[in-house]
Amino acid sequence: MKRLISVVGPTGIGKTKLAIEIAKSQNTEIISCDSRQFYKEMKIGTAVPLDEELAEVPHHFIGNLSIDDYYSIGQFEKEALDKLDELFSSHDVVVMVGGSGMYEKAVVEGMNDLPEADEDNQKLLQFIFEKEGIEPLQNLLKILDPDYYNNVDLENPRRLFRSLDIIFQTGKSYTENLDSPKNKRNFETIRIGIDAPREVIYDRINRRVDIMMEQGLLEEAKGLLSHRDKVALQTVGYTELFRYMDDEWTLDFAIEEIKKNSRRYAKRQVTWNKKLVDVNWVNYENSVEESLSLLHKIL
């Protein structure tokens, strides 16, 4: 039986380090399921692993797209499964890591046979977004599918477009569509989750944002300003700095908003991960040691 080791946990808690150590112990490779790290132009703001980290273990699906590219969960599911088939031909174990819960779940459990995007629905949702902003779409999703509303990245319009479109087409909530039976996988998954107190998560997020600013996040965002309408850039770390560039906010206030929105995102990640089945939880302070000991017993 081939095995996928999937590392989950909130942003900034040490998933990258743990995944690399596990991959090194198994002499294998890593698949990233962090949907923001797919885009090569957004290295600093999405905390892409450092060059020396990428050199330690082969990584896949990092910097493989441009912000100009359209990319969906369905496309990722197919491409990730194809990559797994390729890697399993020479490895018994592969590691996957990332903070995008829907992308992780798509690989581990499978996506449903959802309909393709409806052009009229997409145009309507885009019109609302351009005229009234993202809040009406958030409120509509809250009414139609409160479960998904509590888990989705509410600042990502593409997620809102897709879920509302599916609801319109099927007459069922997006959650109901996702929970219907899926195709079985030909590999076993071992989920390892990094657990930490909320105050630790929030402190690490605050420090990570400060480090990003020192690394040049503002300069990176300035270089992407002319592309600000791209869906990939409708995300924490960039939207706040764009408002600073528009002279709406001071830089200090924009940085505090990045921290606040990142903490909100982490809170949703924790809620999502707690609902996953069969997660082996390890403590953030000893995540590597606990995980390697656990895998030694299982493998």
Q: What is the DSSP letter of 231?
A: G
Instruction: Give the whole-angstrom CA distance, residue 124 versus residue 114.
Output: 20
What pairs with residue 96 in β-bridges?
6, 31
* CA triple 12-14-20, angle to 5 deg: 135
Taking the CA atoms of residue 28, residue 33, residue 36 and residue 38 in that order, the dihedral angle to the nearest 10 degrees is 60
Residue 282: its H or E element: strand 279-283
Report d(CA 230, CA 126) in Å as an integer: 12
Q: Where is the binding site, in residues? A: 9-16
Binding site for substrate, by residue number, is: 11-16
Note whether 12 and 198 are within 8 A (CB): no
**Ramachandran bin of 133, using left for φ above 0, alpha for ψ from -120 to 50, beta for the remaining angles:** left
Q: Which residues are annotated as a binding site for ATP?
A: 9-16
Angle at alpha carbon of residue 200, lines to 16 and 269, rounded to 5°: 60
Residues 6+ away with beta carbon under 8 Å from 284: 9, 13, 14, 194, 195, 196, 200
Beta-carbon-side half-sphere exposure of residue 288 (alpha carbons within 13 Å): 11
